[in-house]
Amino acid sequence: MPHAAFDCVIRAGHVATAVDEFDADIGIKNGAIAAIGRDLSAGTAEIDAKDKLVLPGGIDAHAHIEQLSSAGIVNADSFESATASAAFGGTTTVICFAAQHRGMNLMTVVGDYMALARKGAVIDYTLHMILTDPTKLTLEEHVPALVAQGHSTLKVFMTYDLMQVGDEGLLDVLLAARRNKALVCVHAENHGLISWMGKKLVEKGYTAPKYHTVSHPRGSEAEAFTRLIAFAEFIDQPIMIFHVSTAEGVEVIRRARGRGLKVFAETCPQYLFMTAKDLDKPGLEGAKWMCSPPPRAESDQEAIWQGLALGDLQVVSSDHAPYAFDASGKLSAGPNPNFKQIANGLPGIEARMPLLFDAMVSKGRLGLAKFVELTATAPAKIYNLYPRKGSIAIGADADLVIWDPSRKVALTDGMLHDRAGYTPYAGRTVTGWPDTVLRRGEVVVRAGKLAAKPGSGVFLPRAGGAAAAPLNRLAGDMDPARNFGARLY
């Protein structure tokens, strides 16, 4: 019997990319897309996608997995549970973190997270390296060595007592990134404002989870974005601003991009679908909706949607950071914590794509092509995974989601596959859900069952790529031609 031309054919689906939609069969060979056409010859396996959409597997570019927090607690998920949860939600690539805490050796940290991922991941992965201790050793020896191994994003915090790097540390990291052609991702909020407000609120007895939102004044975001962008322009280093939550923040980014700066920006479902009012619950219940920055107002949601529509923001990631509602997570400081003692973060790796599909396609905001762009193609391009990931094209990895656009799913606590034990979206019904998910041509989810083995995900080494390339618009004080010859790069 002659060999089939394809290992698998996905037949008669409605294929969508960030630019096109068409009815076609997709032929898969050796984990990659080998043919897109009508009436392709038979594959060894066949998947009927009639009345379904065929979409690129999602890329979640911001997820905290098995990560140790500065307070010493670990996220509820293992690599296995987080990536399985991702796959059930239609995500086939994740960018998670290797988190250096102060005093830690970055080489060891990255090695440790890589070992965890290698053991557990069921989808493909790559890392952002969190730097909280940007010493000379870290920046001049470890960062170059790790970038050469394919770890080409550095992440820094401008807030959190034990994580923030301060203005000089931020400049040091921006400069190291420029030297190594890496991108810098930033959690940008004004530390002093948040720290001061947190203390004042607790001092006066305002300790419930809802006061977490008040302790992160909205202006702390625009101020930090403005300072960060000034520093990035000064060093001539591209940046990605994580989890934009306010209208003013969007405005600052729009102005910077209008001046031609390489400022990329991300938001998350919590800033599109939740508001500060979600934290206003009896007792400690509001802790389940606590994340930083906090959810804001409906007017911010609208401004963020507009920012996505106009391209000021390019990516929607989950910022998955699950903590169980018990002593292992949200209540780790005891049964009666004030909001400052409660871990920040929400589960979201599985709900990200369905929530966005429901809003963008089923309810019609921005449409199917933009959904694909925000959830897969744009993160692939910015993080230099494209064209291997993020689209449906000949030669690309066969990371494909066969999506049922009409399936209605009521979200409830416990129905998702992460280990938080709750979803902040419980009570919502979404229309559209992933049916079958393939990663490099292998079925990883089918009929509600996981079919992939732990450790079957692979590491995706990345260089910085086009997004991380500087503009070569040197600030006068950094330009030897204009600073009396001082060479600072």
Amino acid at 44: T
Minimum CB distance to ligand DUC smaller for 64 or for 330 = 64
Residues in contact with ligand DUC by CB under 6 A are 64, 187, 291-292, 319, 321, 344-345
Both tokens of 285, joined, read 């219940």
Write phi, then psi, for 197 (nearest 5 degrees).
-65, -40
Output the smallest distance, CB 261 to ligand DUC, in A: 23
What region does 427 belong to: left with phi over 0, alpha with psi -120 to 50, or beta?
Answer: left
Q: Which amino acid is at 297?
A: A
Q: 291 touches which of ligand DUC, Zn ion, none (CB within 5 to 8 A by kind)?
A: ligand DUC
Cβ-based nearer residue to Zn ion, 151 or 187: 187
Q: Which does 221 bind (CB under 5 to 8 A by kind): ligand DUC, Zn ion, none?
A: none
Residue 352 interacting with Zn ion (CB under 5 A): no
Tell the smallest beta-carbon distance from residue 146 to Zn ion (Å): 20
Nearer to Zn ion, 263 or 445 (CB): 263
Q: What are phi and psi of 75, to 5 degrees?
A: -50, 155
Return the residue matching tokens 């400049």: 171
Beta-bridge mates of residue 436:
402, 446
**For Zn ion, which is the closer residue by CB, 34 or 82?**
82
Quote the least distance from Cβ 246 to Zn ion, whole Å.
14
User: Please, which residue, 64 or 370, has the CB nearer to ligand DUC?
Assistant: 64
Q: Which does 352 bind (CB under 5 to 8 A by kind): ligand DUC, Zn ion, none?
A: none
Minimum separation from the CB atom of position 381 to ligand DUC (A): 24
Smallest gap from Cβ 345 to ligand DUC, in A, equals: 3
d(CA 308, CA 267): 9
**Contact residue for Zn ion among 11, 142, 155, 187 (CB under 5 A):** 187
CB 74 within 8 A of CB 66: yes
Q: Choose between 318 and 391: whose C-beta lies nearer to ligand DUC.
A: 318
Output 232 or 452, the one with its CB closest to Zn ion: 232
| Beta carbon nearer to Zn ion, 187 or 218 | 187
Tell which positions 310-349 bind Zn ion, by CB under 5 A: 319
Task: Return all residues near 235 (Cβ < 8 A) that are at least 6 apart.
Answer: 171, 174, 175, 178, 475, 478
From the list Zn ion, ligand DUC, none, partner contacted by residue 318 (C-beta under 5 to 8 A by kind) = none
Place of tokens 């998955």: 320
Binder of residue 344, out of ligand DUC, Zn ion, none (CB less than 5 to 8 A by kind): ligand DUC
Least distance in Å: CB of 400 to ligand DUC?
Answer: 29
Nearer to ligand DUC, 344 or 377 (CB): 344
47 binds, among Zn ion, ligand DUC, none (CB under 5 to 8 A by kind): none
Q: How far is the CB of 187 from Zn ion (least distance, A)?
A: 3
Residue 332 and residue 71 in contact, taking contact as beta carbons nearer than 8 Å: yes
Residue 134 interacts with, from Zn ion, ligand DUC, none (CB under 5-8 Å by kind): none
Toward ligand DUC, which CB reaches closer, 11 or 210?
210
| 69 contact, one of ligand DUC, Zn ion, none, CB 5-8 Å limit per kind | none
Binds 300: which of ligand DUC, Zn ion, none (CB < 5-8 Å by kind) = none
Number of residues that bind Zn ion (CB under 5 A): 2
- C-alpha span between 462 and 318 (Å, rounded): 21
Contacts 24+ apart (CB under 8 A), 411-418: 411/351, 416/85, 416/88, 416/89, 416/347, 416/350, 416/351, 417/81, 417/84, 417/85, 417/88, 417/350, 417/450, 418/76, 418/77, 418/81, 418/82, 418/85, 418/320, 418/322, 418/347, 418/349, 418/350
| Shortest CB 98 distance to ligand DUC, Å | 14
User: Among ligand DUC, Zn ion, none, what binds residue 207 when CB lies within 5 to 8 Å by partner kind?
Assistant: none
CB of 70 to ligand DUC, least distance (A): 10
Residue 258 burial (C-beta neighbours within 10 Å; 0-12, 13-18, 19+): exposed
- The distance of closest approach from Cβ of residue 344 to ligand DUC in the complex, given in angstroms and rounded to an integer, is 4
Q: Report the interface residues with Zn ion, using CB under 5 A.
A: 187, 319
